A and B are shown apart, each in its own frame.
Chain A
Amino acid sequence: MDIVLRATFAFAFIVFLTRIAGRKELSSLEPIDLILLVVMGDLIQQGVTQSDYSVTGLVLAVGTFGVLQATTSWAAFRFGPFRKLVDGEPIVVMQDGKVLEANLRRERISLEDLAEEMRGQQLASFDDVAWAVLESNGKISFIPKTR
């Protein structure tokens, strides 16, 4: 029972932390983010299973994560308010070539970050962008102007 409760708490804490940390942190996967992912995984394991090396413990911990992930995903699909709570909503950061700086500031995204993302989608100039939307997964979608 203990492992299931620990895994449930760990899952809820991870969802909570990723939700409040901001989307910029979600989208980037710099070397430091990769290292942090591995380190956090190890720290979570220690808190969940502690000194339990059994296969039963493994099944309980991984099973709990799997069931919670599937349940969260289903609830987000089924209930709109819950989806907004766990996934968030998109934010428009550019419209018709104009950068909406207040919205960028809110998500701690600099103009340089935006330009970098834009270049990644083969767009050279802000003027080429009709819409840029910061999605709930942290990625920025650019919709080019039609010529």
Chain B
Amino acid sequence: MPDIPDTIVVRRHRDLVGRRHEIWVRRGLLALVGAVLALGLADVFGQSPTTDKAEADAATLKIVAPASIRGGLMYQCRFDVHANRELKKATLVLDKGWLQGLTINTIEPSPLGEGSRNGSLVLELGHIPAGDVYSLYIQYQVNPTTVGRRSQVAELADNGKTIFRIHRKLTVFP
């Protein structure tokens, strides 16, 4: 047998004594990375939209928005207000969860008025005739430092009277 190179230990470096498990640890960790990618494909990290809906005699509200997003992403939320009866002065009230750490690029169509009520954003949608659908689009961008899980509450009101609230969760991945 030729001279063994310095620092090479035959049992450890050739026969791999005590190192047999290494390959399985490596494969396991690689599978773990693969699992994260699979979760990404399964939309766990966003940003496909989900739909939340609330219905009452006066109106139906459908929110189409992602439940998971990532820092820096641009995304859209759509609020469809279906007037089951005439809404004289419809307002949409969005709590801090819809605003904190998020940049609103634009709101279309522009509400008739905007205001603040107990820290929530009040958007005045105005008159919606019976049977009509009012769609409000908000284009967002996530601030890069925003992270975590939060609740979002959207309230639909008419003439200052609450029709219903929708509670949802938003997860912001770093």
Contact = CB atoms under 8 A, between A and B. Distances in A.
Contacts of A52: 144
A133 B7 CA distance: 12
B5 A131 contact: yes
Nearest to A49: B144
Contacts of B30: 20-21
Given A92-B8, A95-B2, A133-B13, 15 more contacts: A2-B144, A17-B33, A19-B26, A20-B33, A22-B26, A50-B72, A89-B19, A90-B13, A91-B14, A96-B2, A100-B14, A103-B16, A130-B3, A131-B4, A131-B5
Given A2-B144, A20-B26, A131 B16 contact: no
Contact of A89 (B3, B13, B26, B144): B13
A90 B19 CA distance: 11
Contacts of B174: 6
B38 interface: no
A127 B71 CA distance: 57
Nearest to B30: A20
Nearest to A16: B29
Interface of A: 2, 6, 16-17, 19-22, 50-52, 89-92, 95-96, 100, 103, 106, 130-131, 133, 143, 145-146
Nearest to B3: A130
A92 B14 contact: yes
A104 to B, nearest CB: 12
A131 B29 CA distance: 31
B144 A51 contact: yes
B56 interface: no
B1 interface: yes
A95 B12 CA distance: 14
B14 A51 contact: no
B23 interface: yes
A89 B72 contact: no
Interface in B1-44: 1-5, 8, 10, 12-14, 16, 19, 23, 26, 29-30, 33
6 contacts: A17-B33, A50-B144, A89-B12, A90-B8, A91-B16, A145-B2
B76 to A, nearest CB: 19
A93 to B, nearest CB: 9
A2 B10 contact: no
A51 to B, nearest CB: 6
